[in-house]
């Protein structure tokens, strides 16, 4: 399966577990891609676009994916898709083989334990517990009847010992160790904390999870593969499971704890999980009123920040949170209108307005807001591309073929110059004969860009690609397209290498 390389090993593992456990509630394959619902602590929407049968772009409504990362829910939907297309056989076999090895290992352990006398087992166990602090505290939990306070201390000691085991005296976990460390944390959540929830020890489970959160917050780790975000995602889901089980009294305690973290020591990326749990849960009346007041108060505080850029960013972030509450009908329409007017300069607010227009199929107003946004945010290339893409999708949705094609031209030539996906989409609107003439407009306006070289490559225009490579300074373009050209144009490429070598040799100043 080609898509597996888009995920870390841990994400693929957990996505497969979700698929096997039947967490993919539903999915469908449409003309533009795959859309699925995956059950976690709540229902997550997954959208995956396909280009010529390969995964192109993915999105999920879970907190982990909000920053553009590829999550286990996406992997779970892709496993369901692979199962339907028959591509899952290789992965399934690999899993079954793994399971057989594991079962064989368990059988071997059973035999060893049965053969050993009780004194040998006791002696060996004492040695293990003396040498490993984490297993000592786990054993204490197993054999002792402790109260919650002592048991929490044991868990804290287990976590502290785990951090020391991986971080050592340097107090840093490098990228080679980060994956194994994250797996250990997942085990604590999936086994220890899950067992506490099953036993009804909700307060203790909540305290353990929160201590783990602060372990993450204070950790020095190279998690370039996103291990810590994955653990934080699991923490969020564990909070959700707890909230499904606790009574109103414990829920109030949890609410107070979450509110207290809004001005606490948590890093921004972890505080975001707290904000999301406050928004998505606690829908009883008293909670709704209090969180609405708190969020509006936080937004007002952001308005007072002196730094212009920081104020715009933070206003945008907190305005989104307030609007998320407004969408849950926590205020009247007049208040919503006032909020829109006050913060209309923020791109985030206009994005919400467009989403609401799309939800009620008011496409004319959505287009008007997007046109206004193109003017207001014209100095922000990323936003301009996003607005232009949204306009294109609306025209396609409403069947306005002329406006749709015009918008594609604007994307390719202006807003997202040379974007290959938009180029391919535009090409599909013409016959092969028509396109031979139409594409010349693109070649003319993008003649000096790397994007046009990619298009020459896709169209098989090797003579034009060679001309572009030869006139480009340096070796970058030459090396990027050498494989496409070397069979037909070996002399020309060799001459280009010689030219660049001679240019470099001019500036040498010593024997080295």
Same domain, 125 and 50: no
Is-contact 484 465, C-beta < 8 A? yes
The predicted structure's pLDDT at residue 433: 93
Same domain, 8 and 150: no
Q: Measured between alpha carbons, how far is 312 from 344 in angstroms, rounded to an integer?
A: 11
β-strand 43-51 against 54-60: which pairing, if any?
antiparallel
401 belongs to a structural domain: no
Same domain, 124 and 250: yes
On the question of pLDDT at 329 being above 80, the answer is no
Same domain, 164 and 23: no
> What pTM was estimated for this model as a whole?
0.56
207 belongs to a structural domain: yes
Same domain, 126 and 96: no
On the question of pLDDT at 94 being above 70, the answer is no
43 belongs to a structural domain: yes
Kindly report which listed range (181-185, 329-333, 376-380, 407-411) carries the lowest average pLDDT score: 329-333
436 belongs to a structural domain: no
Total residue length of the chain: 512
* Domain end point (choices 277, 306, 334): 277
* Domain end point (choices 94, 111, 128): 111
The predicted structure's pLDDT at residue 399: 94
Same domain, 104 and 140: no
On the question of pLDDT at 96 being above 50, the answer is no
Same domain, 98 and 178: no
306 belongs to a structural domain: no
Same domain, 126 and 269: yes
On the question of pLDDT at 116 being above 90, the answer is no
Same domain, 107 and 22: yes
pLDDT, tens digit (0-9, with 9 covering 90-100), for 412-442: 999 988 888 899 999 999 999 999 999 999 9
- 61 Cβ contact partners less than 8 Å away, ≥ 6 residues apart: 44, 45, 46
Phi-psi label, residue 419: left if phi above 0, alpha if psi -120 to 50, beta otherwise: beta
- CB burial string 314-345: b at 16+ within 10 A, e below: bbbbbbbbbbbbbeeebeeeeebeebbeebee
Same domain, 148 and 78: no
pLDDT, tens digit (0-9, with 9 covering 90-100), for 144-169: 665 678 888 888 888 888 888 888 87
User: pLDDT band at residue 93, thresholds of 50, 70 and 90?
Assistant: very low
Same domain, 154 and 252: yes
Range of the domain at 465: 447-506
237 belongs to a structural domain: yes
19 belongs to a structural domain: yes
pLDDT, tens digit (0-9, with 9 covering 90-100), for 451-489: 888 899 999 999 999 999 999 988 889 998 999 999 999
Same domain, 80 and 124: no
User: pLDDT band at residue 383, thresholds of 50, 70 and 90?
Assistant: confident
User: pLDDT band at residue 26, thresholds of 50, 70 and 90?
Assistant: confident
66 belongs to a structural domain: yes
On the question of pLDDT at 317 being above 70, the answer is no
Number of domains the chain is built from: 3
Cα-to-chain-centroid distance, residue 99: 29
| Side-chain-side CA neighbours of residue 435 (13 Å) | 11
* Domain end point (choices 111, 132, 164): 111
């Amino acid at each position: 399966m080609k898509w597996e390389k888009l995920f870390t090993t841990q994400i693929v593992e957990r996505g497969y577990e979700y698929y096997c456990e039947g967490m993919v509630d539903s999915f469908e394959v449409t003309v533009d891609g795959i859309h699925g619902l995956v059950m976690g602590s709540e229902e997550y929407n997954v959208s995956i676009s396909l280009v010529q049968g390969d995964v192109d772009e993915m999105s999920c409504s879970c907190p982990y994916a909000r920053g553009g990362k590829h999550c286990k829910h996406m992997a779970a939907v892709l496993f369901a898709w692979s199962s339907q297309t028959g591509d899952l056989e290789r992965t399934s076999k690999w899993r079954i083989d793994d399971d057989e090895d594991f079962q064989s290992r368990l059988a071997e352990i059973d035999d060893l334990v049965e053969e050993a006398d009780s004194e040998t087992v006791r002696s060996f166990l004492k040695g293990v517990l003396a040498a490993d602090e984490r297993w000592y505290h786990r054993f204490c939990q197993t054999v002792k009847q402790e109260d919650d306070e002592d048991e929490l201390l044991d868990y804290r000691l287990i976590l502290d010992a785990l951090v020391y085991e991986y971080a050592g005296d340097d107090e840093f976990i490098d990228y080679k160790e980060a994956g194994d460390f994250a797996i250990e944390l997942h085990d604590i959540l999936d086994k220890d904390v899950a067992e506490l929830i099953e036993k009804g020890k909700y307060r203790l489970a909540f305290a353990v999870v929160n201590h783990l959160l602060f372990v993450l917050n204070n950790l020095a780790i190279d998690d370039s593969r996103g291990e810590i975000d994955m653990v934080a995602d699991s923490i969020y889901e564990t909070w959700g499971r707890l909230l499904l089980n606790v009574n109103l009294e414990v829920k109030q305690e949890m609410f107070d704890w979450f509110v207290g973290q809004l001005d606490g020591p948590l890093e921004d990326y972890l505080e975001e999980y707290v904000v999301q749990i406050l928004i998505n849960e606690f829908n009883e009346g008293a909670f709704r009123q209090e969180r609405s007041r708190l969020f509006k108060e936080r937004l007002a505080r952001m308005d007072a920040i002196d730094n212009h850029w920081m104020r715009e960013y933070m206003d945008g972030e907190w305005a989104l949170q307030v609007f998320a509450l407004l969408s849950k009908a926590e205020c009247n329409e007049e208040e919503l209108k006032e909020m829109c007017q006050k913060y209309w300069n923020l791109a985030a607010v206009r994005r919400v307005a467009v989403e609401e227009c799309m939800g009620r199929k008011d496409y004319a107003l959505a287009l008007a807001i997007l046109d206004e946004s193109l003017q207001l945010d014209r100095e922000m290339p990323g936003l301009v591309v996003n607005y232009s893409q949204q306009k294109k999708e609306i025209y396609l949705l409403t069947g306005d073929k002329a406006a749709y094609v015009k918008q594609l031209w604007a994307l390719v030539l202006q807003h997202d110059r040379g974007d290959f996906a938009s180029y391919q989409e535009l090409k599909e609107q013409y016959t092969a004969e028509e396109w031979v003439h139409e594409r010349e407009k693109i070649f003319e306006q993008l003649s000096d860009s790397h994007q046009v070289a990619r298009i020459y490559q896709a169209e098989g225009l090797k003579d034009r690609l060679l001309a572009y490579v030869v006139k480009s300074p340096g070796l970058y373009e030459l090396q990027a397209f050498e494989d496409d050209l070397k069979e037909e144009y070996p002399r020309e490429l060799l001459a280009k290498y010689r030219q660049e070598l001679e240019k470099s040799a001019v500036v040498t100043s010593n024997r080295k």
